[in-house]
Structure 1
């Protein structure tokens, strides 16, 4: 009797880890950094690098495995993907390959009695964990675009900026990922307090959720208000809509202006010009965090 998990451990994992270690080393990570990212010893990384670990040719040449190695390697090296997301993505592929596919074939070769057995799916490829990690990764990419953009700090309002993105079926603030504590201008440098988390934004997340009631927007970023800035956005082809905050609450104003707006499926702009005790703010909303971040970068 041989479990398919043994096939994963004996054939898939050594091959996948050696390919991933090789990919990370090729991207400039040291042996120590690769060991830390993969959660293995430096001696294991050395063995992978020197070809001392046997690879299963069928696993190594599978296009899906090669694509995953490239995607996970790039994500881990850049910081866009956490070890948790890398694990989830790898687990998803493993479970797919176990069900009447590559790993199932290898399993059947080792245990012929399994030829007529349907390998049941164990993990759901559309799991909540995978979805939340992808949203967090998306926000990270957007943040990097903003902080790498020369002059972004000049667009940060006094209340700070935030970049948010929500889950596909978001219903509340806990379904929105954002920068904890907001992004502030510290001596001309955009400063990000921490890694994106869910449920840490109130103002920008509330605007996004209100906008989602009548649009398909899933991400938003706030910057300072400036008539010239809004004019530039309008000239760039974005729909720009002014709303009025109601006693300091922007949500009702957003709902009201969008109720009469044309269908908005791409990036669009909402802005309010302030009031007593209310700082004027401009919001860019769109399909995902990197897209709205790109729009902000293009203003600079």
Structure 2
């Protein structure tokens, strides 16, 4: 596990310090004066100025870094910039470069699990897309843990398999919904989850969840399909979950889900009784994957 702060400490700061030491020496300052300004030892100044410290080429070549070093170096040398002001200027640049920029890209290169974001994230942003998607994955994993540990869950899995999905708060398409690649299947009486959650892998359950959200249920962020049985629907109703039926043979999923929700606006259970070549299915919906998984477990 590699933290963004480690990238700053191990790659960014040594490079910037060496650039500043070099700049200040070229402006005629002694090693002692440079050491005092940068708060480091004279031997460290010597190493920085003589190129004995490894420098990151991308930081070294970044025009914004070079401009900052030149500006701060001139200010320190002339006495027009205080050490505190220089520190603030460098901190400001670091925060800029952490936000979908150079430091984020270096972080991704050092921590391959971030691959695919293209450095297009701010790891410190609590509402950033990276953190939002990882929170969804974490919630989904917790829900799947409930499913795996629920004795007898395999009895709820329809022939087409089950899936448990959760979407981001502002989801507007299947790529914003995480699910289980390949679905959850009954393998010798055991619910089997073949892979870690991914986004954009569930079309069927994700489409129903999105249809519900587009028809007034933005509070719903998770859904799961289980087999249909009148007793299952009755059991869910007995537990206090309102249900609504929709037509299995539809041309427009939004239309049939919307009609069902207009009739029963608070429905957390949607189901259809099948059709020609269509297996009957029950859908459980909730605020997150854990809540939906608990609904399923309550049936066992």
Indicate whether the TM-score tops 0.5.
Answer: yes
User: 1:196–1:139: structure 2 CA closer, same or farther, 3 Å change rule?
Assistant: same
Q: Which residue of 2 aligns with 1:253?
A: 256
Q: Which moved more, 1:241-250 or 1:285-294?
A: 241-250
Q: Which residue of 2 aligns with 1:282?
A: 282
Tell me the CA shift for residue 186 of structure 1: 1.0
1:113 matched to 2:116: no
Q: Which residue of 2 aligns with 1:154?
A: 155
- Taking the aligned partners of 2:200 and 2:8, their CA distance within structure 1 comes to 36
- Taking the aligned partners of 2:231 and 2:220, their CA distance within structure 1 comes to 24
Classify the secondary structure of the residue corresponding to 2:210.
helix
Classify the secondary structure of the residue corresponding to 1:256.
helix
User: 1:5–1:240: structure 2 CA closer, same or farther, 3 Å change rule?
Assistant: closer
Tell me the CA shift for residue 6 of structure 1: 8.1
Give the number of equivalent residue pairs: 194
Q: Which residue of 2 aligns with 1:273?
A: 273
1:144 matched to 2:145: yes
Q: Which runs of 5+ in 1 are unaligned?
A: 11-110
Tell me the CA shift for residue 293 of structure 1: 0.4
CA contact (8 A) 1:184 1:190 kept: yes
1:218 to 186, 210, 221: 221
Q: Which residue of 1 aligns with 2:133?
A: 132
- Taking the aligned partners of 1:284 and 1:210, their CA distance within structure 2 comes to 14
Q: Which has the larger radius of gyration?
A: 2
Tell me the CA shift for residue 251 of structure 1: 4.5
Classify the secondary structure of the residue corresponding to 1:208.
helix
- Taking the aligned partners of 2:252 and 2:298, their CA distance within structure 1 comes to 29
Classify the secondary structure of the residue corresponding to 2:182.
coil
- Aligned pairs for 1:95-106 (under 5 A) are none
CA RMSD after TM alignment? 2.6
Q: Which runs of 5+ in 2 are unaligned?
A: 11-81, 99-121
Tell me the CA shift for residue 291 of structure 1: 0.9
User: 1:251–1:187: structure 2 CA closer, same or farther, 3 Å change rule?
Assistant: farther
1:297 matched to 2:300: no
1:231 matched to 2:202: no
Tell me the CA shift for residue 137 of structure 1: 1.1
- Taking the aligned partners of 1:117 and 1:195, their CA distance within structure 2 comes to 42
Q: Which moved more, 1:122-131 or 1:215-224?
A: 122-131
Tell me the CA shift for residue 255 of structure 1: 2.1
- Aligned pairs for 1:188-227 (under 5 A) are 188-213=189-214, 214-215=216-217, 216-227=219-230
- Taking the aligned partners of 1:6 and 1:175, their CA distance within structure 2 comes to 30
- Taking the aligned partners of 2:220 and 2:173, their CA distance within structure 1 comes to 14
Q: Which moved more, 1:222-231 or 1:248-257?
A: 248-257
Tell me the CA shift for residue 245 of structure 1: 1.8
How big is each residue's C-alpha offset from its partner over 1:252-286, in whole Å with a ceiling of 9 and x where there is no partner? 32122113333x3xx81111111111111000101
- Taking the aligned partners of 1:6 and 1:185, their CA distance within structure 2 comes to 44
- Taking the aligned partners of 2:176 and 2:139, their CA distance within structure 1 comes to 14
- Taking the aligned partners of 1:131 and 1:147, their CA distance within structure 2 comes to 24
- Aligned pairs for 1:51-70 (under 5 A) are none
Classify the secondary structure of the residue corresponding to 1:190.
strand
